[in-house]
Amino acid sequence: MTLKEEIQRRRTFAVISHPDAGKTTLTEKLLLFGGAIHVAGAVKSNKIKKTATSDWMEIEKQRGISVATSVMGFEYDRHKINILDTPGHQDFAEDTYRTLTAVDSVIVVVDAAKGVESQTRKLMEVCRMRHTPVMIFVNKLDREGRDPFEILDELEEELKVSVRPLSWPIDIGERFRGVYNLYRNSLDLYKPSKQMVTESLRFDIRSPELENHIGDLLSKKLRDDVELITEIYPAFDRDGYLAGKLAPVFFGSALNNFGVKELLDCFVDIAPSPREVHTEERVVDPYEENFSGFVFKIHANMDPNHRSCIAFVKVCSGKFERNVNYKHVRFNRMMKFSSPTAFMAQRKEIMDEAYAGDIVGLPDNGNFKIGDTLTSGEELHFKGLPSFSPEMFKYIENADPMKSKQLQKGIEQLMDEGVAQLFTNQFNGRKIIGTVGQLQFEVIQYRLLHEYGAQCRWEPINLYKACWIESDDEAQLQDFKKRKYQYMAHDKEGREVFLAESNYILMMAQQDFKNIRFHFNSEF
């Protein structure tokens, strides 16, 4: 295959949603259809002992939630599919925001009973900002839920995007009989099966045989609904979808394998192959001969036996090859990688080459930070990977003096992942951890203990916001730092940060020091 053909057959996307909408379950079923796994795991189940493939961390198995993005790649219908299953919980939103910079399209999962929820709205804002093509999967139709037309109205209103149903449910809840595939003009009848892929029967909606399968009443309703859809909603337009203006909608039940294959088949057909990426210097085209890529995520301890960190690199252009020298732009030096890996969640295998659109795992001994660029030699800096100002803060203290080295290493590696931030107070030298949610503190404490053998305890600190500061007026900057000495800290990169105790104190500081710029994310 030529370079262009290899890149064109790639589909890299993220699955996003509010917690509990069924994101990880859908990912499992996509892997099942792709032949990547043969028995689907469950996120929470007493009967199914296998846990979800993408929720591989111990804490994820216990809690039944995803706390880190996991990457899975497999072949399906002559295409190479790369799925990134993201955490839905808002406490881990920063991991998800960064993941959205590394994908070419997105599947949004919506619960049929609950409709659009707060976290889905926030994630959709990021997609709109980046003009990312979005597909919507309305899940849990095997449970009682709302009218499909009502759900479509809410999707348009809440997510601010035009929608077009490409599959349509036949009844709902216990009476759910299957899905009519508007994209392929065929009827798919299913038997609920949580773990096996069931065959579907294909019918044209006008066929009189329809009545034999779903009865007179449902046949009439289905024909009426389909007629209404074609009148109300515009015909599906792929250009509108690729521009992020039109979202195709599919209905189904991920748990019972309803409607997932329709989604996957249509996705492979219409989703974009790798797209252009903007850097500070120029626009990078995926079909360029030269390799370029950036680190969008770092995961500590993927293999606890080796204490190894893995840097996740999105290949943006050309072809990445094992044991070839590439330039680490921030260090301005050449590096070669003898064991780059392809992922199946926690399972890794050495890969010899990867193309634009693929995600490569590189062993990291402290060489990488989120946002780092690797190229064939060119100076490029990829944009759009900020750290946001945390909303919750606590002092972190060592609970076991014999394990201070382990604690130090654990904090360093977990902070490199970019989901929490470390600040060192200049006044008393104490370490402060900032996160976007309470659950992060529990995860950090759990992982320090179970992965590094270090015990920490949290102590309260009353802070409102962390702001990165800069100014062209050196005298005013020094005056500010002198006056606010007790509230000044350094972040992990050594940049100066002002820790404001309250909104009022922050507003007063902004008023009194007009020449100082206060930034609420690290990309300034």
Whole-number mean pLDDT of the chain?
80
pLDDT at 479: 93
Q: Are residues 178 and 230 in the same domain?
A: yes
Tell me how far CA of residue 137 lies from CA of 21, 260, 470, in angstroms: 10, 9, 44
Q: Within a domain: residue 387?
A: no
* Residue 361 pLDDT greater than 70, yes or no: yes
* Residue 341 pLDDT greater than 70, yes or no: yes
E strand spans, 204-268: 246-251
Q: Are residues 71 and 207 in the same domain?
A: yes
Q: Considering 320, 341, 375, which residue would you say is the last residue of a domain? A: 375
Structural contact between residues 88 and 16, judged by C-beta atoms closer than 8 angstroms? yes
Average pLDDT on 283-310 reads 78
* Residue 401 pLDDT greater than 90, yes or no: no
Q: Report residue 338 as tokens.
A: 């003898």
pLDDT band at 347 (very low <50, low <70, confident <90, very high): low
pLDDT at 303: 57
Which residues make Cβ contacts (< 8 Å) with residue 82, sequence separation at least 6? 10, 11, 12, 13, 71, 72, 73, 357, 358, 359
Structural contact between residues 351 and 342, judged by C-beta atoms closer than 8 angstroms? yes
Structural contact between residues 503 and 480, judged by C-beta atoms closer than 8 angstroms? no
CATH number at residue 473: 3.30.70.3280
- What's the CA gap between 382 and 404, in Å, rounded? 36
Average pLDDT on 363-372 reads 82
Q: Are residues 108 and 199 in the same domain?
A: yes
**φ and ψ at residue 317, rounded to 5 degrees:** -150, 155
pLDDT at 280: 85
- What's the CA gap between 248 and 236, in Å, rounded? 8
Q: Within a domain: residue 380?
A: no
Q: Are residues 112 and 258 in the same domain?
A: yes
* Owning domain of residue 424: 392-519
**φ and ψ at residue 354, rounded to 5 degrees:** -145, 155
- Chain length of the chain: 524
pLDDT band at 37 (very low <50, low <70, confident <90, very high): very low
Looking at residue 199, the DSSP 8-state letter turns out to be: P
Average pLDDT on 229-254 reads 89
At 407, is the secondary structure helix, strand, or coil? Answer: helix
Q: Report residue 36 as tokens.
A: 């990547």
Q: Taking CA 23 as the corner, what is the angle to CA 18 and CA 25, rounded to the nearest 5 degrees?
A: 145
- What's the CA gap between 101 and 88, in Å, rounded? 16
pLDDT at 348: 64
Looking at residue 387, the DSSP 8-state letter turns out to be: P
Q: Are residues 150 and 263 in the same domain?
A: yes
Lowest mean pLDDT segment, chosen from 53-62, 172-181, 329-338:
53-62
Q: Are residues 20 and 39 in the same domain?
A: yes
Q: Within a domain: residue 505?
A: yes
Q: Are residues 436 and 310 in the same domain?
A: no
Higher pLDDT, 393 or 72: 393
pLDDT tens by residue, 275-292: 888 888 889 999 999 999
Q: Are residues 427 and 512 in the same domain?
A: yes
Q: Are residues 508 and 465 in the same domain?
A: yes
pLDDT at 278: 84
Q: Considering 328, 346, 375, which residue would you say is the last residue of a domain? A: 375
pLDDT tens by residue, 89-99: 444 456 667 77
AA letter at 215: G
Q: Within a domain: residue 386?
A: no
Higher pLDDT, 302 or 45: 302
pLDDT at 39: 42
- On the 0-12 / 13-18 / 19+ scale of CB atoms within 10 A, 113 is middle
Q: Are residues 289 and 201 in the same domain?
A: no
Lowest mean pLDDT segment, chosen from 221-235, 259-273, 380-394, 473-487:
380-394
Q: Within a domain: residue 99?
A: yes
Only one residue has tokens 């072949």, namely: 75
pLDDT at 301: 59
pLDDT band at 442 (very low <50, low <70, confident <90, very high): confident
- The total of structural domains in the chain comes to 3
Q: Are residues 104 and 237 in the same domain?
A: yes
Q: Within a domain: residue 383?
A: no
Q: Within a domain: residue 285?
A: yes
pLDDT band at 304 (very low <50, low <70, confident <90, very high): low
Q: Are residues 312 and 188 in the same domain?
A: no
pLDDT tens by residue, 108-141: 999 888 888 877 887 788 788 778 899 999 988 8
Tell me which residue of 92, 68, 67, 122 sits closest to 390, measured CA to CA.
92
Lowest mean pLDDT segment, chosen from 49-63, 79-93, 174-188:
49-63
Q: Within a domain: residue 524?
A: no
* Residue 66 pLDDT greater than 70, yes or no: no
- What's the CA gap between 163 and 124, in Å, rounded? 14
CA–chain centroid gap for 231, Å, is 35
- What's the CA gap between 193 and 519, in Å, rounded? 51
pLDDT tens by residue, 480-523: 999 999 999 998 888 899 999 999 999 999 999 999 998 887 66
Structural contact between residues 203 and 180, judged by C-beta atoms closer than 8 angstroms? no
Q: Report residue 314 as tokens.
A: 């999105």
Lowest mean pLDDT segment, chosen from 67-81, 157-171, 362-376:
67-81
Higher pLDDT, 314 or 89: 314
Structural contact between residues 99 and 66, judged by C-beta atoms closer than 8 angstroms? no
Q: Considering 220, 250, 270, which residue would you say is the last residue of a domain? A: 270
Count Cβ neighbours within 10 Å for each residue of 174-204 and write b for 16 or more, e otherwise: eebbbbbbbbeebbbbbeeebbeeeebeebe
Q: Report residue 467 as tokens.
A: 């702001």
User: Model-level pTM?
Assistant: 0.76
pLDDT band at 199 (very low <50, low <70, confident <90, very high): low
* Residue 302 pLDDT greater than 90, yes or no: no
CATH number at residue 87: 3.40.50.300
Percentage, residues of the chain above pLDDT 90: 20
Tell me which residue of 44, 41, 46, 50 sits closest to 65, measured CA to CA.
44
Tell me which residue of 476, 497, 477 sits closest to 488, measured CA to CA.
497
Structural contact between residues 79 and 11, judged by C-beta atoms closer than 8 angstroms? yes
* Residue 428 pLDDT greater than 50, yes or no: yes
